[in-house]
Amino acid sequence: MPKEPKLSFEHVSKAYPSRRGEARRLAVEDVTLNIEEGHFVCLLGPSGCGKSTLLNMAAGFILPTSGRILVDAKEIAGPGIDRGVVFQEYALFPWYTALQNVELGPRAKGMPAAARRALAERYLAMVGLTDHIHKYPRELSGGMKQRAAIARTLANEPRIMLMDEPFGALDAQTREGLQDQLLDIWSATRTTIVFVTHSINEAVLLSDEVAILAAHPGRLIHTVRNRLPRPRSRTSADVVELEREIYDQRYLAESRRAAE
Ligand code: ADP
Ligand code: MG
């Protein structure tokens, strides 16, 4: 029997209220996608194809206009600590140190001080910030801030990590370091990851599966199973080959649409 998906989108559509004088257009149209427990799935597509909308619906921040989103076969009703979110903009509180930021979740759950400190230190170590735990966000580089934000989400021990272009604002070298680190964290925690990106290379390097989206309206055009052996190298022939395959899929779908 096939395994029950951890997270599923069932015929999910989303229409935002239209701006004055504009026709109401679907930001997301009829997306059905099943994500298996422990998988690393990338939502890949150009700006405006509804990636953030899908992620925000999965987080429970906004509701679908129609369709359902299920976690462990149960329809979600709003945000929950089973799902952790990491945004492109580092959502750290500027008046707290890295350590205090990471301790927030465990503190809110009522974890005793010593235990939450130990937990926060463990996750900060996992993202390589052991030497910077007492620094404030303004004292951290962009990459370090995003590491702290990831540690903060990890400290809630979510079963699903929802990441919206988390490395999009970083320079290439920092981004590559963080990609490697995220894969290490994923192997250690085996959490399910839904990762939004517009980079085909990033999707091929990270994912078990790539959901290819297109815009106007935002829709799923194809999913590609990525069975390339890990660890993967950014420039290896098999990575480049799969990048080309995904590029072609996208191109074909756009051409078919244009011909309709
Ligand atoms: P992506 O993250 O792939 O760039 P989004 O999910 O942000 O795409 O947006 C999908 C579509 O929905 C776009 O056309 C965007 O303009 C529209 N949109 C997103 N958020 C809102 C909003 N709060 N109100 C109205 N339209 C929105
Ligand atoms: Mg977005």
| Cα–ligand 2 centroid distance for 55 (angstroms) | 9
The neighbouring-strand residues paired with 74 are: 71
**CA count, 13 A, side-chain hemisphere, 215:** 10
Indicate if 151 and 105 belong to the same structural domain.
yes
Residues 149 and 192 in one domain: no
* pLDDT tens sequence across 208-239: 999 999 998 999 999 999 999 999 999 999 99
CA distance 34 to 6: 8
pLDDT digits (tens, 9 = 90+) for 135-166: 999 999 999 999 999 999 999 999 999 999 99
Question: Structural domain of residue 126, as residue ranges?
Answer: 92-157
CA nearest ligand 1 atom 22, residue: 16
Angle between helices 113-126 and 172-189 (to 10 degrees): 130
Q: Please tell me the predicted confidence (pLDDT) of residue 252.
A: 84
182 shares a domain with 169: yes
**Position 236 in a domain:** yes
- Is 1 inside any structural domain? no
Buried-exposed string 105-118: b where 16+ CB fall within 10 A, e elsewhere: bbbeeebeeeebbe
User: Looking at the predicted structure, is the pLDDT value of residue 256 above 90?
Assistant: no
**Same domain, yes or no: 40 and 113:** no
16 CB within 6 A, ligand 1: yes
Q: What total number of domains does the chain contain?
A: 2
The ligand with the least distance to the CA atom of 48 is 1
Ligand 1 neighbour 48 (Cβ under 6 A)? yes
Count how many residues are written for the chain. 260
Give the distance (Å) from ligand 2 centre to CA of residue 114. 38
Work out the pLDDT band at 2, boundaries 50, 70, 90.
low
